[in-house]
């Protein structure tokens, strides 16, 4: 990652002298000035080191965030940079003092272009859009070593192009002189041929050296049908499995670069020469005409879609073509406007694109949104020169074919464009070229467009020429007189040229000049940088060049390596420059904001002073802090030492922590709000009914309840998160001979049961070793039940738990069931009463309406639904199947299936009173919908609590939640319900509470219920959550600050015109008496908000309380933006100052976003 071969990296600038001879009679002596840090670099060093002499890793990270705006920079990254700088500056380490970087070390870091590059070097564009959505690095006549008339044809230029990242290779294929083989050459010229097979083997060898994304071979073929068949055989044998063969003769949409990774793609058109044999002599006679006629006409004349059915193309050759080239006869404008369900490639020469752009540019843009447009040099460019590519790029043309063996500003701009997106050869076109605007209008650069952004460029200095050039290269009599040209190439309104003053007689020129470039279309702008040496008597000498896509330029002080005329990077020549971007607000004024760096809040500084000596917190000091403030009475000095050791690289190791190190520990990953060392720590030997269990609902659904796909992927994701109860609805397949999983009576697409079971087996114990319960909602005949039993036994083998008796008197414990699979189900009423099958299917669809609320829209305590007739009548599919059947019906159940059921689901016939009756001789599972539970707790709250002391209560979402939203789980938990079944594919506050509850007990998926829900009181009374209990404890929460949004979000994500305005909401979800939400003030325009606000929460039932934390960004005109959330069980919350990581809406933890908070129990 950090390797560099250039000399500059390992040298120390030293002063010296050069001697120049004048008129062969006397010498002139010139002193070589040492490269020194510019004033801006010195000021940045002073500010980031707090006027110190050395820069630590923490201070370097501050510089990278504050000045370089590197939002993804971690402290580890800064430490790696420091280590590399030290290794290069002090190879023997003897002269290094170990304190950090000096100002000269820091300056050298800035000049190291591999450590401080000017543009992003990673692939970051979305790569799964169609090929037509990308600019593609394209070569023209890729086999030519020089000019277009008499140079050699060779595989060497092909290899060089591929090594430079070119993705489109053009080969002109012709019959050999003996007409029995194929050569590559520029037809009708004096170029010497090369065999096709050599070119193909070279492509195979070098195709993916520079990029993993597809290589497209465009064949300009002039072959007979027999030779086409031979070409097809060659291509197939050479490339084998990496050759992409399309499924259809004509694609309706091009595949994506991502789907074509490491693949070779063929693009070609029919050979005009052999389609019209009678015109063969005429064709050959005109071969020497300009390429803009021969090549262009061949591309889009004399054939139509009917060629697919002709006999001229060998079928084996034809089937290899992915990108079809050409168009029917007719005018270009009609072709561009033709509506077709097929996609294709069209080629125009540079003159044709200019004429077309002037007359019907909109049609070009619209055409290139789905199809591929290739632009090639006009035929008069026999010297292999190139043309300006911007006209084509502005109209969406993907393949701008260039002579890569040439040089000049046009080629430099091409090389600059494809430095973008990690240099992978594919650059995503701007959205405005892919999508139409209001009234179906397309992008038109000729309109008077407002300025979107302003790029400010400061050219500080340059160095390295004296290492890469002889001292008389530029001037025989004196050191060079350098100046720098800086210009923008883009849409005409953005084009601009500027240059610095000339610095005379200096190998290390310092210009320190600033230029401003307003940009209307920055997405298409390229920054050109060129150094020249002034010559009074002749043309100015060339001193290096670099072209950079503006959209990829990294803000800050950057090292710009320069290249020669061919585009090859010099070993040492580089410039030091600074880039700043400002954005328009309402197109009338600009605002500029600095990103602040995280600093320890005042309370943290005070605590550090209290627990440190002379600015250092020793191991003993830290141990005392852990005991006193963090309330970790069992903390050892060894643990304190481990914290210190983990915060420093060896070369920066200290015997204790300074303030920065202490703050780093507090705000770091080793200091979370839940103990990282605690695994499952609850008593796991009680019956299953004594635990809240992480439970999924319709676990196989990927989305909504009506028409989403059924898949094993949501099951896998749930198990990886720690979910312990997986629900599968099992139905006969269409042939009635096998078993599928699907949501019956809906449009959901089925998945095979065996696939789901195998995925459960593979991932069951990845997140937790405690048992996985499979609840089967079955709708099967006895024959298929027997088949299910066989599948379960064969799939799970000895890990499948089989109960000793038909009905258990008490459920076994999670400890006893470790690494076991448990089956819970009820009898299938549908097949036991076959005459009602159709009625059942109809009933299953009743009540499927639109959701009465959105998961995000309301607070959890108010998540109440309307009881629909479907649920009032007890006709819910889940509830309906719970009825116990008479003895005759029970005998119809397949015995091998019945023997596997460990948790029997069902209820006696009768009302809810009878349903909740506790049987001392057997335990069972009862299912109620959320609405049924809400209705039941009003009258039978205590009965439900008593029932759940021995039996299992499962609560599931009401039927109208077709959007897979969820409900308030606290109602179920506060009444002892073990299985509160949730749609895990959804999101919203309810699901966040579920995630929070099961972060407890090491995230094992089983949380021990509080004793008051498991045991009756002295007078056999049970817990009543509706009663207002006295306050047991008070939780005091201090919200200090937050950080990380700048790293995990685009800088315009929250607000296009300014940094975000964050506030934090903190509250409790629990029994009604404890439930409350509070919020901090809103801090404006700050990526690192510091609130320093304190809140108190009296808790009557802390055992059921969850601490809710949400961050939002205030929006005056719309709904406030979401900035992260987490939910923490209060019973497991650690006292002290803690780093609280935040999660996205789906519950996935952000990489960097976190809050610094303090928790105290009083």
Instruction: Give the span between the Cα atoms of 290 and 287, in whole angstroms.
Output: 8
DSSP 277: G
CA dihedral sign, ordered 995, 999, 1003, 1006: negative
Q: What's the CA angle centered on 983, arms 737 and 1007, to 5 degrees?
A: 110
């008597």: which residue's tokens? 537
Q: What are phi and psi of 277, to 5 degrees?
A: -60, -35
Q: Is 743 a catalytic residue?
A: yes
Question: Helix or strand or coil: residue 348?
Answer: strand
CA dihedral sign, ordered 377, 380, 385, 391: negative
């497209």: which residue's tokens? 216
Out of 186, 222, 395, 743, the active site residue is 743
The DSSP secondary structure of 216-245, one letter per residue, reads EEEEEE---HHHHHHHHHHHHHHHGGGB--
Contact 322, 230 (CB under 8 A): no
Of 1102, 1121, 1017, 997, nearest to 1059 (Cα)? Answer: 1121
Of 491, 546, 496, 556, nearest to 522 (Cα)? Answer: 491
Question: Helix or strand or coil: residue 766?
Answer: coil
Where does residue 983 rank: exposed (0-12), middle (13-18), buried (19+ CB within 10 A)? buried
Instruction: Give the span between the Cα atoms of 1073 and 1066, in whole angstroms.
Output: 16
Contact 144, 384 (CB under 8 A): yes
Of 319, 201, 219, 207, nearest to 262 (Cα)? Answer: 207
Out of 133, 140, 222, 697, the active site residue is 697
Of 528, 547, 597, 464, nearest to 67 (Cα)? Answer: 597
DSSP H or E run through 980 = strand 979-982
Question: Helix or strand or coil: residue 452?
Answer: coil
Q: Are strands 510-519 and 134-139 parallel, antiparallel or unpaired?
A: unpaired
Instruction: Give the span between the Cα atoms of 328 and 976, in whole angstroms.
Output: 73
Instruction: Give the span between the Cα atoms of 313 and 227, in whole angstroms.
Output: 10
The DSSP secondary structure of 1093-1118, one letter per residue, reads EEEEEEES-GGG-EEEEEEEE--SSS
Residues in the chain: 1162
Instruction: Give the span between the Cα atoms of 141 and 383, in whole angstroms.
Output: 13
Of 788, 720, 708, nearest to 754 (Cα)? Answer: 788
Give the tokens for residue 828. 């299938």
Give the tokens for residue 328. 């029917």
Instruction: Give the span between the Cα atoms of 869 and 850, in whole angstroms.
Output: 15
Q: Is 534 a catalytic residue?
A: no
Which residues participate in catalysis according to the annotation? 697, 743
């Amino acid at each position: 990652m950090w390797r560099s071969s250039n000399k500059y990296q390992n040298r120390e600038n030293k002063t010296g002298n050069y001697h120049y001879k004048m008129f062969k009679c006397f010498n002139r002596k010139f002193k070589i000035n040492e490269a020194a840090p510019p004033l801006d670099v010195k000021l940045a060093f002073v500010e980031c080191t707090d006027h110190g002499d050395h820069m630590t890793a923490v201070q370097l990270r501050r510089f990278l965030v504050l000045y370089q705006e590197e939002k993804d920079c971690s402290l580890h990254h800064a430490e790696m940079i420091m280590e590399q700088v030290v290794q290069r500056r002090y190879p023997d380490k003897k002269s290094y003092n170990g304190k950090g970087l000096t100002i000269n070390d820091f300056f050298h870091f800035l000049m190291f272009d591999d450590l401080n590059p000017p543009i992003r070097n990673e692939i970051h564009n979305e790569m799964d859009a169609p090929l037509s959505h990308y600019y593609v690095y394209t070569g023209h006549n890729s086999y030519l070593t020089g000019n277009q008339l008499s140079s050699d044809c060779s595989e060497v230029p092909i290899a060089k192009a591929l090594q430079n990242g070119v993705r489109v290779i053009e080969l002109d294929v012709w019959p050999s002189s003996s007409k029995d083989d194929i050569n590559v050459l520029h037809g009708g010229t004096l170029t010497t041929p090369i065999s096709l097979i050599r070119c193909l083997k070279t492509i195979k060898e070098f195709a993916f050296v520079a990029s993993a994304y597809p290589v497209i071979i465009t064949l300009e073929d002039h072959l007979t049908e027999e030779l086409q068949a031979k070409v097809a055989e060659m291509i197939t044998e050479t490339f084998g499995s990496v050759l992409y063969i399309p499924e259809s003769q004509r694609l309706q949409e091009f595949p994506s670069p991502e789907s074509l990774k490491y693949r070779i793609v063929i693009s070609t058109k029919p050979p005009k020469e052999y389609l019209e044999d009678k015109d063969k002599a005429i064709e050959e006679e005109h071969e020497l005409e300009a390429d803009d006629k021969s090549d262009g006409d061949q591309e889009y004349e004399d054939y139509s879609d009917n060629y697919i059915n002709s006999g001229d193309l060998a079928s084996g050759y034809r089937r290899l073509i992915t990108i079809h080239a050409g168009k029917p006869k007719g005018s270009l404008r009609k072709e561009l406007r033709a509506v077709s369900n097929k996609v294709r490639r069209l080629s125009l020469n540079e003159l044709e694109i200019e004429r077309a752009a002037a007359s019907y540019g909109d049609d070009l843009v619209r055409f290139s949104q789905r199809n591929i447009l290739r632009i090639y040099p006009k035929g008069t460019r026999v010297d292999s020169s190139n043309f300006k590519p911007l006209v084509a790029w502005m109209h969406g043309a993907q393949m701008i074919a260039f002579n890569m063996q040439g040089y000049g500003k046009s080629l430099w701009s091409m090389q600059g464009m494809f430095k973008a997106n990690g240099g992978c050869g594919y650059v995503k076109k701007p959205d405005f070229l892919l999508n139409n605007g209001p009234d179906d209008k397309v992008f038109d650069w000729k309109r008077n467009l407002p300025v979107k952004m302003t790029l400010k460029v400061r050219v500080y200095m340059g160095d390295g020429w004296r290492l890469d050039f002889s001292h008389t290269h530029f001037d025989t009599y004196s050191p060079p007189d350098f100046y720098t040209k800086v210009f923008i190439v883009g849409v005409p309104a953005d084009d601009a040229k500027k240059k610095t003053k000339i610095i005379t007689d200096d190998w290390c020129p310092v210009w320190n000049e600033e230029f401003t470039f307003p940009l209307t279309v920055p997405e298409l702008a390229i920054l050109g940088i060129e150094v020249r040496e002034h010559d009074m008597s002749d043309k100015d000498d060339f001193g290096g060049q670099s072209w950079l896509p503006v959209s990829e330029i990294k803000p800050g002080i950057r090292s710009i390596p320069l290249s020669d005329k061919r585009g090859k990077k010099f070993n040492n020549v580089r410039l030091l420059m600074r880039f700043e971007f400002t954005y328009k607000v309402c197109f009338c004024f600009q605002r500029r904001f600095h990103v602040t760096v995280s600093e320890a809040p005042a309370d943290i500084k005070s605590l550090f002073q209290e627990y440190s000596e002379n600015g250092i917190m020793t191991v003993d000091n830290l141990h005392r802090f852990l005991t006193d403030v963090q309330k970790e009475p069992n903390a050892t000095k060894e643990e304190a030492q481990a914290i210190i050791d983990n915060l420093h690289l060896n070369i920066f190791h200290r015997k204790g922590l300074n303030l920065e190190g202490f703050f780093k520990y507090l705000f770091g990953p080793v200091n979370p709000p839940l103990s990282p060392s605690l695994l499952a720590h609850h008593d796991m030997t009680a019956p299953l009914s004594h635990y809240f269990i992480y439970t999924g609902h319709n676990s196989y659904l990927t989305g909504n309840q009506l028409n989403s796909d059924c898949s094993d992927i949501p099951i896998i994701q749930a198990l990886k998160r720690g979910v312990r109860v997986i629900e599968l609805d099992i139905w006969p397949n269409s042939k009635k001979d096998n078993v599928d999983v699907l949501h019956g009576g809906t449009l959901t697409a089925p998945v095979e049961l065996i696939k789901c079971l195998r995925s459960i087996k593979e991932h069951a114990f990845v997140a937790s070793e405690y048992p996985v319960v499979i609840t089967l909602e079955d709708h099967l005949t006895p024959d298929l039940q027997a088949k299910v039993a066989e599948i379960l036994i064969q799939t799970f083998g000895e890990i499948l738990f089989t109960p000793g008796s038909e009905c258990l008197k008490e459920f076994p414990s999670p400890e006893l069931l470790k690494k076991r699979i448990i089956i819970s189900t009820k009898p299938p009423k549908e097949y036991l009463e076959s005459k009602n099958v159709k009625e059942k299917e109809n009933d299953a669809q009743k009540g499927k309406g639109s959701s009465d609320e959105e998961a995000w829209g309301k607070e959890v305590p108010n998540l109440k639904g309307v009881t629909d007739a479907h649920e009032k009548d007890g006709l819910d599919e889940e509830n309906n199947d719970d009825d116990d059947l008479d003895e005759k019906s029970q005998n119809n159940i397949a015995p091998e299936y019945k023997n596997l059921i460990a948790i029997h689901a069902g209820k006696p016939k009768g009302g809810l009173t009878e349903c909740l009756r506790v049987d001392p001789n057997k335990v069972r599972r009862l299912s109620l919908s959320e609405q049924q539970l809400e209705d039941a707790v009003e009258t039978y709250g205590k009965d439900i609590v008593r029932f759940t002391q021995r039996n299992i209560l499962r609560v599931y979402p009401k039927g109208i939640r077709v959007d897979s939203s969820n409900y308030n789980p606290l109602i179920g938990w506060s009444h002892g319900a073990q299985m509160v079944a949730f749609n895990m594919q959804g999101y919203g506050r309810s699901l966040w509470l579920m995630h929070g509850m099961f972060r407890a007990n090491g995230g094992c998926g089983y949380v021990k219920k509080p004793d008051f829900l498991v045991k009756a009181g002295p007078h056999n009374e049970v817990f009543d959550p509706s009663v207002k209990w006295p306050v047991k404890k008070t939780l005091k929460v201090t919200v200090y600050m937050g950080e990380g949004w700048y790293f995990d979000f685009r800088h315009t994500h929250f607000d296009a015109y300014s940094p975000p305005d964050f506030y934090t909401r903190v509250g409790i979800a629990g029994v009604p008496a404890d439930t409350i939400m509070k919020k901090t003030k809103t801090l404006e325009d700050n990526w690192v908000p510091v609130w320093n606000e304190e809140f108190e929460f009296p808790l009557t039932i802390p055992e059921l309380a969850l601490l809710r934390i949400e961050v939002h960004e205030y929006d005056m005109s719309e709904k406030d933006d979401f900035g992260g959330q987490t939910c923490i069980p209060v019973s497991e919350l650690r006292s002290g100052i803690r780093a609280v990581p935040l999660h996205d809406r789906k519950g996935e933890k952000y990489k960097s976003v976190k809050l610094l908070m303090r928790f105290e129990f009083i």
